[in-house]
């Protein structure tokens, strides 16, 4: 190869500089994974070429046997990895090796802590495999040419991982990519054939392409000199697609390493499910649940889905048509015998076979999560990572609604913490005698929910209430109405029906209180006419003077804030003020004869009720002025 004059030195994207520094200093305890990452990338490049060759056979350039070749040189302290896959042109090299065009980059960088152990986990979540080469290499060279392009369009890329790289045009007769690692001082152990073989066996045995290395010659130097032999390469991995093998033949370690290969995650999966379907439809699926959420989980444009193969031929990454959006964190492989080899994303979107497979795979994924839910600590860790995404499920997937609801977890008044650990089944088991409803409350945050005055009657009677403070909660609860015959009731909306939890004597006492408080209710309604739709005597309250209640079918305060923040114009909606006549403040209001003073006190009561549930006051300055006036009177 002769390097031409067109040589440029360019700077890495700022994010790449940070990542390179982080990787070099954080992955010292697991350096050997660099080879796994480079082999995975080479495998992906070959898969992409194979797929393109289905419609463009000429792109193979007469060389149809795809493989990966691994060599090392102890004297030069180099490792060379070559694939004959799709290759790259100049634009591809700059795009793939000089920048990180990935949603969530900024969020990833914000999460860096400076703690090397923690940060190495973050790298795995982000998935930047190629750059792991710099953990062991002081300099990396890449020679590459894109399949189908002329030999003179080869590219030579060089970098020492310190902020810049050079790129030049070269003549490269063969397609594909060659990566040369010039090892750092102290990393010579990797320039050893036996060491590289052991790493391949450990991490990349499942790769379906043959990985070749020079056959070891154990003869003495004298014998080699006396009878020289031509270099002979041998395959050092099983070279069989893991998902095509029987489950009984595959070890847990092999499953875990295959997950890391397809996901570029450094951590092991939380769970997996391997299944072969035969009969009317034939396909094999291998699904994984990750331990950690990727940084782009909530970026709608982020790629998602399964790796799709048809008759063991790679078709596409991120085939999103086979799982619903709320299961977008599931990783895995799908190999179908019922789809055509030239299948496209457009065909997938309107294919009945795909719909049938999606339905079956969704059920399998949910069964996998149900099994994981039986391991309390494992599921608790899963829920912290993916709980909010799973909460999108009941609205999106009606046919599996009950199964999804069984997987949800919530905080509650009985759990006593903000941790979401209570299932609906546990809630139903703990229901009070005579209770036939599932009570819940939504709020801006957990403290607002846990300290809401709406809970007072439930605490008094020992009735558990689910506390919901995730942004998705109110929207989710607007889509579901019951679970296993028990209806959901938002205790901060509409008239509160306690059913048989409330005794006849209590109902009678309530009626008497309502009758004796009619004058106070009328005066409050007149004073707050512009701010409330109704004033009522409450049977929710035992300690607080008042609370605000929205209509049964009105949007709650949390949802209104979300919609308004998104720029949505919402219709005016006035809450109902419910009062506790036995509270000293209400007794003081009842005795107040001055209308102006009554009006000021009524406004203070309303504003306090709004603040107690996390609402934003319409006129905070007026509230402060009234409070100051009351304080001055008290201090006189």
Reported as a single tens digit per residue, the pLDDT across 243-276 is 999 999 999 999 999 998 888 787 899 999 999 9
User: What pLDDT does 345 receive?
Assistant: 75
Q: Report the C-alpha gap between 204 and 68 in whole angstroms.
A: 11
62: pLDDT confidence band, cut at 50, 70 and 90?
A: confident
What is the structure's pLDDT at 617? 86
CA distances from residue 229 to 54, 72, 224, 529, 613 in whole angstroms, order as listed: 39, 18, 7, 100, 83
Q: Which of 507-511, 559-563, 599-603 has the lowest mean pLDDT?
A: 559-563
Would you state the pLDDT for residue 181? 97
Task: Report, as an integer, the average pLDDT of 390-395.
Answer: 94
Is the pLDDT reported for residue 609 higher than 80? yes
How many angstroms separate the CA atoms of 343 and 321, rounded? 12
The yes-or-no verdict on residue 198 having pLDDT over 90 is yes
- Segment (H or E) for 20: helix 14-26
Q: 328-344 in b/e burial notation, b at 16+ Cβ within 10 A? A: bbbbbbbbbebbeeebe
Q: How many residues belong to the chain?
A: 636
pLDDT of residue 229: 79
Mean pLDDT of 78-106: 79
Count Cβ atoms below 10 Å from residue 64 Cβ, excluding itself: 10
N- to C-terminal Cα distance for the chain?
Answer: 95
For the chain, percent of residues with pLDDT exceeding 70: 89
Q: Is the pLDDT of residue 116 over 80?
A: no
Asked whether the beta carbons of 464 and 578 are under 8 A apart, the reply is no
Which span out of 52-66, 125-139, 277-291, 292-306 was modeled with the highest average pLDDT? 277-291
Tell whether the model's pLDDT for residue 39 goes beyond 60. Answer: yes
* Cβ-based neighbour number of residue 196 at 10 Å: 22
pLDDT tens digits for range 201-232: 888 888 889 999 998 876 777 777 788 877 88
- Hey, what are 158's tokens? 């060089």
Two structure tokens written together for 510 = 């309530």
Residue 497's contacts (CB-CB under 8 Å, 6 or more residues apart) are: 437, 489
| Higher pLDDT pick, 551 / 394 | 394
Q: Which residue's entry shows tokens 């030999």? A: 151
**Rg of the Cα atoms in the chain:** 33
Is residue 365 a contact partner of residue 340, using CB atoms and an 8 Å limit? Answer: no
Residue with the bigger pLDDT between 163 and 460: it is: 460
Q: What was the pLDDT predicted at 454?
A: 93
Asked whether 601 and 520 are in contact (CB, 8 A), the reply is no
Higher pLDDT, 18 or 88: 88
Buried b (16+ CB within 10 A) or exposed e, 296-311: bbeeeeeebbbbbbbe
Better-predicted residue by pLDDT, 584 or 555: 584
Predicted pLDDT at 395: 92
Residue 29: is its pLDDT beyond 70?
Answer: no
Alpha carbons 470 and 44: distance in angstroms, whole number: 38
Closest by Cα among 178, 236, 242, 194 to 211: 236
What's the 3-state SS for 509-554? HHHHHHHHCHHHHHHHHHHCCCCCCEEEECCCCCCCCEEEEECCCC
Q: What is the pLDDT of residues 483-523, one digit of tens each?
A: 999 999 999 988 887 877 778 888 888 889 999 999 999 99
Q: Is the pLDDT of residue 581 over 80?
A: yes
| Range(s) of the chain covered by CATH 3.40.50.11260 | 395-501
If one counts every other C-beta atom within 10 angstroms of the C-beta of residue 447, the result is 13
DSSP letters for 450-483: HT-GGGHHHHHHT---EEE-STTHHHHHTT--EE
Residue 467 pLDDT: 96
State which CATH number among 3.50.50.100, 3.50.50.60, 1.10.10.10, 1.20.120.790 fits the domain covering 504-551+560-635: 1.20.120.790
Please list, residue by residue across 575-602, b when 16 or more beta carbons sit within 10 angstroms of its beta carbon and e when fewer do: bbbbbbbebebbeebeebeeeeebbbbb
Domain made up of 3-239: CATH architecture? 2-Layer Sandwich (3.30)
Residue 604 predicted with pLDDT over 80: yes
- Provide the pLDDT for residue 240: 85
CATH 3.40.50.11260 for the 395-501 domain, yes or no: yes
Q: What is the enclosing helix (H) or strand (E) of 196?
A: helix 193-203
pLDDT in tens, 466-488: 999 998 998 899 889 999 999 99
pLDDT average, residue stretch 529-551: 91
Helix axes 14-26, 116-126, angle to 10 degrees: 130
**Rounded distance, CA 372 to CA 4, Å?**
57
pLDDT value of position 318:
87
Alpha-carbon distance of 234 to 545, in angstroms, equals 82
- Indicate the range of 69-78, 136-145, 156-165, 175-184 predicted with least confidence: 156-165
Q: How many CB atoms are closer than 10 A to CB 493?
A: 21
Judge whether residue 564 has pLDDT over 80: no
Q: SS3 breakdown of the chain: % helix, strand, coil, rounded to 5?
A: 45, 20, 35
If you average pLDDT over residues 335-354, what whole number do you get?
82
At residue 179, the 3 state secondary structure works out as: strand
Confidence of residue 280 (pLDDT cuts 50, 70, 90): confident
Among 113-127, 181-195, 560-574, 587-601, the range scoring the smallest mean pLDDT is: 113-127
Q: Which of 397, 393, 369 is nearest to 383 (CA)?
A: 369
pLDDT value of residue 34: 87
The pair of structure tokens assigned to 624 is: 């402060």
Residue listed under structure tokens 């709004």: 610
Q: Above 60 in pLDDT, residue 119? A: no
Q: What is the structure's pLDDT at 113? A: 54
What band does 171 get if pLDDT is binned at 50, 70 and 90?
very high
Say what the pLDDT of residue 102 is.
46
pLDDT category of residue 125 using cuts at 50, 70 and 90: very low
Question: What pLDDT does 9 receive?
Answer: 82
Write out the residue limits of the CATH 3.30.230.80 domain(s) in the chain.
243-385
Q: Kindly state the average pLDDT of the residues 551-562.
A: 72
pLDDT of residue 293: 87
Average pLDDT in the chain: 86
Residues spanned by CATH 3.30.565.10 within the chain? 3-239
567 exposed, middle or buried (CB, 10 Å; 0-12, 13-18, 19+)? exposed
Q: Are 182 and 140 in contact (CB under 8 A)?
A: yes
User: Could you identify the residue written with the tokens 């305890």?
Assistant: 29
Confidence class of residue 636 from pLDDT cuts 50, 70 and 90?
low
List own/partner pairs for 91-96 with CB under 8 A and 24 or more apart. Answer: 92/146, 93/142, 93/144, 93/155, 93/157, 93/167, 94/10, 94/167, 96/130
Judged on CB neighbours under 10 Å (0-12, 13-18, 19+), 75 is exposed
CA distance 410 to 616: 26
Domain 243-385 sits in CATH at 3.30.230.80
């Amino acid at each position: 190869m002769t390097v031409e004059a067109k040589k440029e030195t360019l700077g890495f994207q700022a994010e790449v500089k940070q990542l390179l520094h982080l990787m070099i200093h954080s992955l010292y305890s697991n350096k050997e994974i660099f080879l796994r990452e480079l082999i995975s990338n080479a495998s992906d490049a070959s898969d992409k070429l194979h797929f393109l060759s289905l419609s463009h056979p000429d792109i193979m350039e007469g060389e149809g046997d795809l493989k990966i070749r691994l060599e090392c040189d102890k004297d030069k302290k180099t490792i060379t990895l070559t694939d004959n896959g799709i290759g790259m042109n100049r634009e591809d090299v700059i795009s793939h090796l000089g920048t990180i065009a990935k949603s969530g980059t900024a969020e990833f960088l914000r999460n860096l802590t400076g703690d090397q152990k923690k940060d190495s986990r973050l790298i795995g979540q982000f998935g930047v495999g190629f750059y792991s080469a710099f953990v062991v290499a002081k300099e990396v060279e890449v020679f590459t040419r894109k399949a189908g392009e002329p030999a003179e369009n080869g590219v030579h890329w060089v970098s020492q991982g310190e902020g810049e790289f050079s790129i030049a045009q070269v003549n490269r007769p063969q397609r594909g990519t060659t990566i040369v690692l010039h090892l750092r001082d102290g990393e010579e152990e990797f320039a050893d054939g036996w060491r590289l073989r052991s790493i391949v066996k450990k991490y990349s045995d499942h790769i379906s392409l043959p990985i070749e290395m020079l056959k070891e010659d154990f003869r003495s130097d004298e014998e080699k000199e006396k009878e020289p032999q031509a270099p002979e390469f041998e395959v050092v991995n099983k070279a069989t697609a893991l998902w095509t093998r029987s489950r009984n033949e595959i070890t847990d370690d092999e499953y875990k390493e295959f997950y890391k290969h397809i996901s570029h995650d450094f951590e092991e999966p939380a769970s997996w499910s391997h299944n072969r379907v035969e009969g009317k439809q034939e396909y094999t699926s291998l699904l994984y649940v990750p331990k950690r959420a990727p940084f782009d989980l909530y970026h709608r444009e982020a790629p998602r889905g399964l790796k799709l193969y048809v008759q063991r031929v790679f078709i596409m990454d991120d085939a999103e048509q086979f799982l619903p959006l709320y299961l977008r964190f599931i990783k895995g492989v799908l190999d179908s015998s019922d789809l055509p080899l030239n299948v496209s994303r457009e065909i997938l979107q309107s294919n009945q076979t795909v719909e049938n497979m999606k339905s079956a795979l969704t059920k399998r994924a949910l069964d996998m999560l149900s099994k994981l839910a039986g391991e309390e600590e494992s599921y608790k860790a899963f829920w912290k990572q993916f709980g909010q995404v799973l909460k999108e499920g009941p609205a999106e997937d009606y046919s599996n609604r009950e199964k999804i609801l069984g997987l949800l977890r919530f905080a509650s008044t009985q759990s006593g913490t903000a941790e979401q650990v209570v299932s609906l089944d546990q809630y139903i088991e703990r229901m009070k005698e005579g209770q036939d409803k599932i009570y819940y409350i939504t709020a801006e945050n957990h403290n607002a929910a846990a300290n809401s005055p709406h809970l007072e009657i439930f605490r008094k009677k020992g009735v558990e209430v689910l506390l919901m403070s995730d942004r998705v909660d109110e929207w989710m609860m607007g889509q579901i109405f019951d679970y296993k015959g028990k209806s959901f009731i938002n205790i901060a909306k509409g008239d509160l029906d306690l059913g048989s939890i409330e005794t006849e004597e209590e109902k009678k006492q309530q009626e008497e209180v309502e009758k004796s408080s009619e004058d106070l209710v009328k005066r409050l309604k007149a004073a707050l006419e512009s701010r409330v739709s109704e004033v009522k005597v409450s049977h929710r309250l035992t300690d607080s003077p008042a609370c605000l209640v929205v209509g049964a079918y009105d949007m709650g305060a949390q949802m209104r804030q979300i919609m308004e923040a998104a720029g949505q114009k919402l219709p005016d909606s006035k809450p109902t003020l419910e009062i506790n006549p036995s509270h000293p403040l209400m007794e003081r209001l009842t005795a107040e004869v001055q209308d102006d003073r009554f009006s000021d006190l009524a406004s203070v009561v309303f504003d306090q009720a709004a603040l107690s549930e996390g609402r934003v006051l319409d006129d905070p300055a007026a509230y402060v002025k009234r409070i100051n006036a009351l304080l001055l009177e008290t201090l006189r």
